[in-house]
Structure 1
Amino acid sequence: MRDRETDDVFKTLVSELHSTLTPTTIMGITILAVGLFAYESLQSTPLLIATIAATLASLGKIAVSLAHRRADATKRSTVADAARWEKLQGLFIFVIAACVGTLATVAFAYRDLSVHMLAVALTFGYCAGVTVRISVRPFIAATAILLAALPPTLSVMLYGDTAHWILSLLCVIFLIAAMQSMLHVYGTTIRQIRLFLDMEHQARHDPLTGLLNRKALCEAYLSLGTADDVLTCVHCFDLDGFKSVNDRFGHAVGDALLAEIAGRLRESLDPPALAIRIGGDEFVILHPDVRDPADAEALARRVVALLGMPYQIAGDEITIGISLGYTMAISGSVDLEQMMVTADKASYRAKRNGGGIDREIPATLDLGKFSVAA
């Protein structure tokens, strides 16, 4: 089912596995209580081994979930990270499920009705919990349910009397229902996560160009932090003659031109630089982690040259001018709005001079310590 999941959906679903701390704790205590009672009643060594193993595996699952939660909270996980956490979580889930299945199977090997009742309750309770909380990873959930429920169901069938045949039939029916419910929960969760991610994407992206919007720009800037040895550069630019393009060719062509410009920006920028459309024909480039001021000038020249090349839209060749201004500051020393105002001033000067590039650097910023050439 991995092919139904985008990378973001996959990472979100795997993250749900560390939300099972409370159910895992409750189930671990329940397994310990039922197992000890069954051992006290039957004096079966396999029962004791399964109980101890399940308890240790529950503690391991809790420890892994805590570590998984901390990892998700401290850094943005990659697909590879999520895959590793999924395997580790699945390992402990499989061990617990196998212990539950072993405990119930051994219990049904003895003719003690009280132990039978507890074994049935434990098996159904565990499978219900898996169906509800682990269905986000259907392979893990289905395997766990089969490990926990199938062996005791077969054990019940061996009794051969009517009551036990009915009980085994109920187990099979509930097993099938659990699988169907698991797939339903998984499908519903997938749809909800996709809807959430789509809404989150729309909240941070410009619908016409697909570039980041002002909200995403603010969030990205705030996430940069402070560093005395690193510069952050903000480039602001707009299009010269964009109104005449709309008047001559129509707004549909104007929109297509903006989309083409966005595509060229994406191709020309290397991470961690970001392109943002803040409205109309106004764009911003956030250029963090600049260690040589010459890099900011080089980026500005590359962008102006690339965006100034002709565009073929609806059979017409369109050329547009760029007026770009930029500024820079020590990372975290100046707020974003102030930097954008400063870069806008440089952009306006560039426009008054016929387009191209201008810059405005605060008098208090000593570029000499960042680059000898500066």
Structure 2
Amino acid sequence: MCAMSQDNGQARWQAIWQSRSGVAPALLPLAWLYGRISSARRWLYIKGWKSIDQLPVPVIVVGNVVVGGAGKTPTVLALVLHLQSKGWRPGVVSRGYGRQGTLPLEVLPDTPASECGDEPALIRRQTGLPVFVARQRAQAARALLARHPEVNLIVCDDGLQHLALGRDLSIAVFDDRGVGNGWLLPAGLLREPWPAHEGSPFSPDLVLHQTSQLHPAHQASATSLPTFFAQRSLAPVAVNALGEQQALTTLAHAQPTAVAGIARPDAFFNMLKAAGLKPRHTTALPDHADSALYGDLLKHHKGTLICTEKDAVKLFELARSQGQTTAARTWAVPLVLQIDPAFFLAVDQHLEPHRRIRPSA
């Protein structure tokens, strides 16, 4: 009941943030206050009254200017693969939202998500790259560099508003919500004023707009900043907790129960339907849901389960602990992100001066 209540609350807020009618206008005084506090904080960094930690290697920050997941982690996964192909040796840092503890921690393949956060665990397991988490991203980065001196570039998963970490390239990611009603929190989706303008202090350098079309006619996050597009879709093959693979279309016959503990569960459910699956039930959990909620799912749903890769970080371990039968019926489907090649070209151009300075890259 608690999980359902939290999820319904998320859905209500998402609806409020898409419109300038209803409850949203009443929240504008709070949005104005939020904006003033945010601007004052930025001003302290601009004037040098708050220090910025500049690392000895290039730093790329991938984040949102809107609340809720907009595709940061899939972007990070695609980005580090590209960087490796160009000869860089990247490491990844994150706050590790929802983790226990605040001090720097290295994420290992068997680190529980409760200790490091869902996204860092997913990134470590998929890439094998060094991943560190800490409340202060600069602390995580310095701990990573001390442990892995071969790393010559840091990618920060989330952190556009974490101004204490110096960055050489920042990327703002949007999804099909765009900027919603265009208002700041709590009246709207925005964590900071938008549109941003090229050259403004702490303005993102690049914008990546993820949508169901590679080149949509309408650009909801319109800005003068260089903007690129990525098409999101589900992979044609799902994998279960035993590592077995099966065509997604084959799973359609099982009429699975679909589960998503992400910021916008309906986005995943709609993608499943677009891929030809008609789930018997859909279960929306809160973003970064507690493992106990996934355990309850396994107890009460005895048929096939299908989830996102992020959910699988917790759900697969629980499924395996309950035996081979449970593990065999618990599936995850990867997200495929088809990014405009021009985006990676722009990233390379931003990094080229740093490559000349650090020929070892």
The answer, yes or no, to whether TM exceeds 0.5 is no
Q: Which has the higher strand share?
A: 2
TM-score relative to the length of structure 2:
0.23
Greater relative contact order structure (CA < 8 Å, 6+ sep): 2
The structure where helix makes up a greater share of residues is 1
Determine which structure has more spread, i.e. the larger CA radius of gyration: 1
